[in-house]
Amino acid sequence: MSLDSLRLHTADLSLKSKLQRLNLGLLALVFAIACVGFTALYSAANGSFEPWAYRQIVRFVVCLGLAVGIALIDIRWWYRLAWPAYAAGMLLLIAVEVMGHIGMGAQRWINLGIIQLQPSELMKIALIMVLARAFHAAAPEDVKRLSFLAVPVCVIAAPVCLVLLQPDLGTSLMMVMAGGAMFLLGGVSLWIFGAVGAAGLLSLPVIWHFLHDYQKQRVLTFLDPSSDPLGAGYHITQSKIALGSGGLEGKGFMQGTQSHLNFLPEKQTDFIFTLWAEEFGLFGGLFLLLLFAMVFGYGLWIAFRCRHAFGRFLTMGLSVNFSLYVFINIGMVMGLIPVVGAPLPLVSYGGTAMLAACVGFGLMMSAHIHRDAKLPKM
Amino acid sequence: MLEKDTEKSRTFTRRALLVGAGQAALLGVLGVRLAYLQVAEGQKYKTLSDKNRINLKILAPSRGQIVDRFGVPLAVNQQDFRVLLTPEQAGDVPAVLKILRRMITLSDRQIEAAIEKAGKVPAFVPVEVRDNLSWTDVARLEVHMTDLPGISIDVGERRIYPFADAAAHLAGYVGAVSKTDLAEDDPVLRLPAFKIGKSGIEKLYDKDLRGTAGAAQIEVNVRGREVRELTRQPGRQGARVMLTIDADLQRRVQERLAAVKSASAVIMDVKTGAVYALCSSPSFDPNLFTSGLSAEKWEELLSDPAYPLNNKAISGQYPPGSTFKMITALATLEDGTANKYTTVHCPGYFLYGGDKFRCWKYSGHGHMNLEEALRESCDTYFYKLSSEIGIEKIADMARRFGLGHKTGFELKEENSGLMPDKAWKMGYFGQPWRGGETIVASIGQGYILATPLQLAVMTARLVNGGRAVRPWVTGYVGDIPMHQNDWPSMNISNEHLGLVLKGMNSVVNHPKGTAYDSRFQSGEMTFGGKTGTSQVRRITTEQRLQGVRNEDLPWKYRDHALFVGYAPADAPRYACAIVVEHGGGGSSAAAPIARDLLAMTMQRHPAARVMRPDKPARDGGPVIPPRKPGKPEKNNEEDGS
């Protein structure tokens, strides 16, 4: 306790000192990744800012401003807001579910004018905040008890079930993975993970039974792309041809024949990495992967410097969430995992992923700026 | 406490490093996979990519025609040949364009635009240099193709409006797809040079006219050059839209209206509601919009005080003037306040609440009954009647006859007009209705506004036995009929309607009628109607004493001339409404035109022939024909170079 009282109270931080503590390095990385996106979108439109690059730049500027705003707000506010944010996220999820039943079609999003917001994206962040708060308060022996874990498990299960109802298998799996990562960080015994994993494997046939036909098709196509050369397998085959033909140095800016001759579907959204790597080759692709690696490194660095458990858990959780997108998207376009409609955050054309990523970075930076804050145990 | 915190923190650090290592490992997997694809297997994929590949190409469907009730085309498609230039094959773009310029006319702007476009797109994407090539141009280019590297000819479609300005407002026109149109998710919208409906029927039925895109699998080489077509799945041609319009009548009406500076007219069937002609003059040539409108011409259309771009027949709103008197008469008759014996003495004015309301005839009409009051358009008679029943009953009757709200006509440019009452004035001005305003309203002045279409509907309902007919212009979309012709009765006494009809008959056919000079001289045909003159700006008593007449005012302050009519007089089938903007008096400016329009209508008698629905080949109809012009037989068109 005596040590605590010696600590600098972050509440006393002036705006100026907060701005000085702002992670300019992280902001620069985010900006660099977004620039890769602008370049690729400019090329995807055959050398035009319309219709994609221009709007993407506008969105990025707005979202980046929002991230800085979030970063400047005291971490204790975010601590307090964890449960309300979770409750709001649940209400939004239920709202889209009910609207879908009332007859507005299977909508997964709410239109906010410049972007279409998917409540499940915000829910992921709220979920990480709540879990960070739960593990912040937990003592080491708590996490060994299964009874303690009941609440966090329910906290994950509720939104996962709602998202499954939409039905959006990909997003619910990502929620489970992000939640699992929080448990891992919290110190839950490794044997529990082993047991859950084994149970999951055993239940695969049951899950298979409940999958929609198009989802089954995607898995089958992934296992044997040539079985469906003009369907989903066609996308992957074309994506691999585009990537592979890029070679070491790429075909050059705006000269990606596969992308520009429309062999490549969705080149401005899900397959943007393919376009980038076709035109800039292995060097360009590795450069982008390196930028992502530096972002993850930043996550670790912020987590280690943070003096409160909430900030540490929050930062690592958000970093894992961000990296899941990267792995799933790039893994998909390279034929490592089945086709799922997942964008490459900050690069793909689209508002929701951009907003979610920037909110996440805002919270990480808030944890960094207010790394010395004193947070209650409950 | 502290120890526990340290333990927890240590666990976290260990696990966080574990997670970080996991992230690094996965990124490593991605990196290795990328290197494997691009380096180890790179050569294989490069070969695959260089081989001829199958590309999916969207084929634009042929846009449906717009035709009149007899199948006469109002909007059709014409083959349009375009010159394309592929920068990569051209090499020196300006040089190729210079050679091209010796063979076809190219403006400096077109050359500059082509060079600019060529610099922006990837080198293998063709850019359009010029469209609308003539047959000779195409032939000449085909001959010299070897001297023109990178030049190719592409065939597309262009929308042609054979009736040019005569049906411009009705048929509308097509234009390039704008950014807001792209919100709709139809792949054909993304085709370069694709056009969609921008106004009128073209816009209203755009989705039906557009059809569905086809697709062709094209084998292309790595340069994007088409090698051959593998399969072709034709799209579906757009549906033909058949209008109730009689195109020939429409053109004649438009020509007749051109005699005055600005006017609009509607001719419709009083029984079915079918519109036979809907004209707004001056008009514009929609063909200019599809072939590229010059900035000067556009500016000229916009700045014309007669608003050629507006469809005044449905969007122009005018005080109906004396054409409103039938409504006042019917409201009073139906209320029971007046009957056919009711007479009013007109001394040339009517005193109400200490104010003097002038009749147009200063010397007065003397004793008037209803028929005479309509015939001679005596204002005092209607002042008196309205002062007895009040505005609410008049407004109610006007609304039953289609005034004050949209008629439900298909075109969205329609305006609702205005029928004021007490609630409206309180809501709009926050002031109570004054009795004097009822007096003014009784002769269609004051706040009342009506569109020519509404006036035609009002007339149709007056003369068809009181049925609530509504106007419509779309007969068939494809082979689907768009309207029914049964209209409910409005429950208005036939005796009262007969009285009003008798008055309207006398307007034209009685020597004292205000439109007697415009009657048919031959006597074979007859029509009835009502004149109207609506004030734009009041001529003050002072000015009147100084001898200022309407003709002396600047054009835009002169009165509007109106006429609503029907024919034949004994068994009405056609109703017409005409407004001559700032034309002066209804009997001198509008009635003669109305007579001519009704004569044309009865001569054509479009109601006698029913519309025949289209029976198109609904599937597999022609898409853009992949036809190229044949080479000319003789090769004697050598250029002077």
Q: Give per-residue pLDDT as tens, B528-565.
A: 999 999 887 665 556 656 666 677 778 888 889 999 99
The predicted pLDDT at position A190 comes to 86
- In angstroms, the separation between the Cα of residue B173 and the nearest Cα of chain A is 25
Preceding omega of A343 cis (within 30 degrees of 0): no
Q: What's the total number of domains in chain A? A: 1
**Residue given tokens 């309407």 in the structure block:** B550
Residue B457 has pLDDT above 70, yes or no: yes
Question: What whole-number distance in Å separates Cα of residue A311 and Cα of residue A262?
Answer: 45
Question: A351-369 vs A272-305: helix axis angle to the nearest 10?
Answer: 20
Q: How many domains does chain B have?
A: 2
pLDDT above 70 as % of chain A: 87
Q: Rounded CA gap, A240 and A263, in Å?
A: 11
Q: A46 and B125 in contact by Cβ < 8 A?
A: yes
Residues of B with Cβ-Cβ distance to A248 under 8 angstroms:
38-39, 42
Q: Is B164 in the same domain as B307?
A: no
- pLDDT over 90, % of chain B: 49
For residues B270 and B193, membership in a common domain is answered with: no
Residue A100: per-residue pLDDT: 59
Look at A102-106, A199-203, B305-309, B548-552 and tell me which has the smallest mean pLDDT.
A102-106
Q: Are B283 and B262 in contact (CB under 8 A)?
A: no
Q: Would A201 be classed as within a structural domain?
A: no
pTM exceeds 0.90: no
Question: Are residues B239 and B127 located together in one domain of the fold?
Answer: yes
Distances (CA, A) of B545 to B337, B349, B355, B362: 37, 17, 19, 13
For residue A208, being part of any structural domain is answered with: no
Q: What is the mean pLDDT of chain B?
A: 85
CA atoms within 13 A on the CB side of A249: 1
Q: Is B49 a catalytic residue?
A: no
Return the number of CB contacts < 8 Å for A and B. Answer: 150
* Chain B contact set for A327 (CB, 8 A): 26-27, 30
Expressed as residue numbers, the domain containing B190 is 57-243
Return the residue of A nearest to B183 by Cα: A51
CB-closest option in A263, A312, A334 to B37: A334
Which of B182, B305, B271 is CA-nearest to residue B484?
B271
Q: Which two tokens stand for residue A150?
A: 């009941």
> A42-51, A78-87, B144-153, B530-539: which has the highest mean pLDDT?
A78-87
- B188, B217, B243 - which closes a domain: B243
Please confirm whether the linkage preceding B282 is cis (ω < 30° from 0). yes
Interface contact flag, B46 A242, Cβ < 8 Å: no
Q: Which of B34, B57, B178 to mutate to test the interface with A (most CBs of A within 10 A)?
A: B34
| Residue B38 resides in a domain | no
- Domain around A147: 2-194+227-369
A130 pLDDT exceeds 90? Answer: yes
Q: Which of B483, B611, B559, B585 is nearest to B72 (CA)?
A: B611
The span from the CA of B7 to the CA of A144, in Å, is: 13
In this predicted structure, what is the pLDDT of residue B149?
A: 82
Q: Residues of A with CB below 8 A from B20's CB?
A: 296-297, 299-300
C-alpha B541/C-alpha B348 separation (Å) is 15
Task: Express the helix, strand and coil content of chain B in percent, nearest 5 each.
Answer: 40, 20, 40
Lowest mean pLDDT among A137-141, B391-395, B456-460: A137-141
**Residue B431 in tokens:** 């002031």
> In the predicted model, what is the mean pLDDT of residues A54-80?
93
Residues B273 and B153 in one domain: no
- Specify whether the CB–CB gap between B338 and B370 falls below 8 A: yes
User: A302: which strand partners?
Assistant: none
**Quick count: other Cβ atoms within 10 Å of Cβ B551?**
9
Phi–psi pair at B467, nearest 5 degrees: -100, 140
B222 and B261 inside one domain: no
How many angstroms away from the CA of A320 is the closest CA of chain B?
8
B228/B132 Cα distance (integer angstroms): 26
Task: Extract the tokens encoding B290.
Answer: 């599809």
Examine the predicted complex and report whether its ipTM is higher than 0.95: no
Contact B16 A286 (CB under 8 A): no
A91: in domain? yes
Please tell me the predicted confidence (pLDDT) of residue A262.
64
Q: Is the pLDDT of residue A36 over 80?
A: yes
Residue with tokens 């980046």: A64
Give domain status of residue A374, yes or no.
no
The two three-digit tokens of residue A123, written as one number? 């829910």
pLDDT computed for residue B68 by the predictor: 92
Element (H, E) at B561: strand B560-567
Chain B residues lying within 8 Å of A313, measured CB to CB: 12
In a domain, A355, yes or no: yes
Q: What DSSP string runs through A6-34?
A: HSPPGGG--HHHHHHTS-HHHHHHHHHHH
Domain end among B222, B243, B264: B243
Contact B49 A241 (CB under 8 A): yes
CA B451, B453, B457, B463 torsion-angle sign: positive
Tokens of B148: 């023109």
pLDDT value, residue B615 = 52
Are both B468 and B508 inside the same structural domain? yes
Domain boundary among B185, B216, B243: B243
For residue B227, the model assigns a pLDDT of 65
CA distances from B162 to B76, B131, B266, B283 (A): 8, 20, 21, 14
Tokens of A247: 């070679």
Residues B223 and B340 in one domain: no
Indicate if B62 and B185 belong to the same structural domain: yes
User: Would you place residue B110 in the very low, low, confident or very high pLDDT band (cuts 50, 70, 90)?
Assistant: confident
3-class state of residue A234 by DSSP: helix
Strand partners, B130: B83
Residues in B touching A3 (Cβ below 8 Å) = 2
Residue A38 has pLDDT above 80, yes or no: yes
Tell me which residue of B453, B64, B479, B71 sits closest to B248, measured CA to CA: B71
From B199, B281, B322, B387, active-site residue: B322
Structure tokens, B232: 């072709």
Q: How far is residue B352's CA from residue B355's CA, in Å, rounded to a whole number?
A: 5
Kindly give, in sequence order, each residue whose CB lies less than 8 Å from that of residue A141, ignoring residues fewer than 6 positions away: none
The more confident residue out of A97 and B175 is B175
